[in-house]
Amino acid sequence: MPLFKKFKQSNTLRWFFLGIGILAVIALTGMNVYSLYALQESTIESAKENRKFQLEEFTNKVRHRFYRPFRGISKLDMNDLENSWEASGHFPIHFQNVLKDALSDSLFSNIYYTPDYLDGCYNEEHPIYKFDPFSGLFTISENNPKEVCDGFGISKSRMNTITIEDFRWNNKVAFDAHRSMTLALINLDDRNIVGHINFMIDRDHLLHNILETELMSKFGDTEESGMVVWVRDWMQDEILLSSNSDFKFSRDKVDMRQRFPDLLDNWVLQASFLQSPAVAATNASLTRNLIVLGFAVFVLFGALVFMFINAQREREFAQRQAGFLANVTHELKTPLAVMQAAGENISDGRVTDGERLKGYGEHIYDEAIRLRKMIDKLLDVARVDSGQTLIKKASLNIDHVLKEYYQKNRAYVESQGFSFEFISNGKIPLVMVDPDHLETILNNLVENSIKYSGQTKEIQIGISSNQSDVKITVADKGMGIPRKAQKKVFDKFYRVENSMTGLTKGHGLGLSIVKNMVELNGGKIDLKSEVNKGSIFSITFPARQISAEEQDEAHEYKAINIPDRVELEQYARQ
């Protein structure tokens, strides 16, 4: 056999394709699930990035707010400022105006100044100057608040760390947390520090007029911003502001922290993210997609497995059919050969002895019966297959019919070494069944009970009814049918594989014919069986609801007449 044909027929190919199919489904599912999760993750990530950007934008805006009054300062000539101070103890008018503007901004409460070469904070002889917004002049100030010296101290020590030779700007800002902002004035020509101007910050104004306003305008609509933002003093462990007072602050709720760049050192923005509409939509679509995908995979797997099982079944069926053909041919030939030989012997005139003649005749008779049975069965199958089974239903008193069947066949069954029993249970209603079909059904079942017998040779047919259904049972105590074969025994050509079926003749057609005929007549067949204990085949037909008159007529219907041996003899001789 060519290699390909061999491979095609082998089961390996089927398993191989099933394996490939399953692998492909798993791979496709895996890829889909992965990309769905990747999509969800990237949406979450971009929502997070967007919020981070909003927080940064907020802190930058606050920072720029501090520098607003000093926009022109980087263009000032520090030589000019220094010379004016040295000559008169005042700054030039244009700089005085800058400071006046700064102080008119409620963010700053007071402005102080110390030249860099003086140290009013540690040396009592050195003055500290305070700005007078009305005159625009600095005057010596006594009893300065502690924050002024803190601000000067920070600015001076910050400038000590800077290499002034490389510095490119004429001023440098240093914040003392949220308390003050100090501007170091740098003369880039002489590379020296002119002095330090300290702006005291109004905390309440900063908090409630600047930060709160900005916070509410940016994050006040929690749904739109997708987060709740708190301004927290981490040194004091105090919540200063909240963008939405409905949400209580708690550390575990915080998803992101954002410091103010170079200013308000002790204050920090803390944000808790709510689910953004984009993320919620992605989550919902992920769930939806996973459900649809799961369903599709389930269906695909189901279809694959179904196709596989179906192919497997068809293969088994084809094998059984092929086996059947081989068997039938063989079995048709055998009786014919026997009959041919016996007939030849008789017609030759070689056999004249009466006893031997009788023997040959019996041989021919037996084989003819065998042939007839087989041909009948084949015709039944052919009829069932082509859908040409004719049903001639009649209203039957099955109780009566079964009793007659029992009486007619009792001798035969007992001659096979079986005890045969008929049990009728109460009043049995009429049913509409084709009597010929009923005969075929009973014959097949009883014959099987004889064929597949065990040690205990008992067969029982019974009839019972619950008035809406009529149930016929054929029970034996034979070899039984294994559980996993119980469904298959009704399949065409199926025979249970065991030593007994090897010994008995059959083609696996009887029960398939029985089932088909039962169903054609509107009934159903069930099987209960246990290996080595026996089998019970139960057939249920719906009871016919009829008038009392009809009931009497039905009683008179001729019971099924199953040909007994004498009749068969006559039939065979016709």
What track of x and - describes contact with ligand ADP for positions 427 through 446 (by CB under 6 A)? -----------------x--
Q: 174 vs 475, which CB is nearer to ligand ADP? A: 475
Of 140, 109, 105, which is closest to residue 126 (Cα–Cα)? 140
Of 435, 448, 460, 454, which is closest to residue 554 (Cα–Cα)? 435
212 and 241 Cβ atoms separated by less than 8 Å:
yes
Of 149, 228, 489, 525, the one binding ligand ADP by CB under 6 A = 489
Span near ligand ADP by CB under 6 A; candidates 32-40, 72-80, 284-292, 495-503: 495-503
What's the DSSP call for residue 469? E
Of 107, 481, 517, 539, the one binding ligand ADP by CB under 6 A = 481
Q: 69 vs 478, which CB is nearer to ligand ADP? A: 478
What's the DSSP call for residue 230? E
CB count, 10 Å around CB of 24? 12
CB count, 10 Å around CB of 383? 14
Mapped onto helix, strand or coil, the DSSP state of residue 527 is strand
CB count, 10 Å around CB of 445? 24
C-alpha angle 13/19/21, rounded to 5°?
Answer: 105
What track of x and - describes contact with ligand ADP for positions 148 through 187 (by CB under 6 A)? ----------------------------------------
247 and 293 Cβ atoms separated by less than 8 Å:
no
Helix (H) or strand (E) holding 491: none
Question: Does 476 participate in binding ligand ADP (rule CB under 6 A)?
Answer: yes
Residue indicated by tokens 């059984």: 320
Q: In angstroms, what is the minimal distance from the CB of 389 to ligand ADP?
A: 17
152 and 135 Cβ atoms separated by less than 8 Å:
no
Question: Does 508 participate in binding ligand ADP (rule CB under 6 A)?
Answer: yes
Question: Could you tell me the two tokens for 518?
Answer: 């039962």
Mapped onto helix, strand or coil, the DSSP state of residue 242 is strand
Q: In angstroms, what is the minimal distance from the CB of 370 to ligand ADP?
A: 13
- How many residues form the binding site for ligand ADP (CB under 6 A)? 23
Question: Does 516 participate in binding ligand ADP (rule CB under 6 A)?
Answer: no
Q: 51 vs 451, which CB is nearer to ligand ADP? A: 451
Q: Which amino acid is at 92?
A: P
421 and 409 Cβ atoms separated by less than 8 Å:
no
Span near ligand ADP by CB under 6 A; candidates 4-12, 24-32, 225-233, 493-501: 493-501
Of 153, 506, 522, 542, the one binding ligand ADP by CB under 6 A = 506
Q: 91 vs 494, which CB is nearer to ligand ADP? A: 494
Span near ligand ADP by CB under 6 A; candidates 30-38, 175-183, 254-262, 499-507: 499-507
Of 127, 335, 478, 523, the one binding ligand ADP by CB under 6 A = 478
**Distance of alpha carbon 82 from alpha carbon 191, whole angstroms:** 12
Q: 155 vs 444, which CB is nearer to ligand ADP? A: 444
Per the document, the length of the chain is 574
Q: In angstroms, what is the minimal distance from the CB of 450 to ligand ADP?
A: 9
C-alpha angle 131/137/140, rounded to 5°?
Answer: 60
Question: Does 449 participate in binding ligand ADP (rule CB under 6 A)?
Answer: yes
Question: Does 384 participate in binding ligand ADP (rule CB under 6 A)?
Answer: no
**Distance of alpha carbon 505 from alpha carbon 488, whole angstroms:** 18
Q: 78 vs 441, which CB is nearer to ligand ADP? A: 441
Q: 187 vs 448, which CB is nearer to ligand ADP? A: 448
Span near ligand ADP by CB under 6 A; candidates 202-210, 421-429, 433-441, 490-498: 490-498
Span near ligand ADP by CB under 6 A; candidates 41-49, 123-131, 283-291, 447-455: 447-455
Of 58, 113, 260, 452, the one binding ligand ADP by CB under 6 A = 452
Q: In angstroms, what is the minimal distance from the CB of 500 to ligand ADP?
A: 7
Mapped onto helix, strand or coil, the DSSP state of residue 184 is strand
Q: 342 vs 446, which CB is nearer to ligand ADP? A: 446
Of residues 531-560, those binding ligand ADP (CB under 6 A): 535
Of 228, 398, 496, 539, the one binding ligand ADP by CB under 6 A = 496
**Distance of alpha carbon 39 from alpha carbon 45, whole angstroms:** 10
Give, rounded to a whole angstrom, the gap between the first and last alpha carbons of the chain: 50
Of residues 98-137, those binding ligand ADP (CB under 6 A): none
Question: Does 510 participate in binding ligand ADP (rule CB under 6 A)?
Answer: yes
134 and 42 Cβ atoms separated by less than 8 Å:
no
**Distance of alpha carbon 460 from alpha carbon 399, whole angstroms:** 14
Which residues form the interface with ligand ADP (CB under 6 A)? 444, 448-449, 451-452, 476, 478-481, 489, 494-496, 501, 506-512, 535
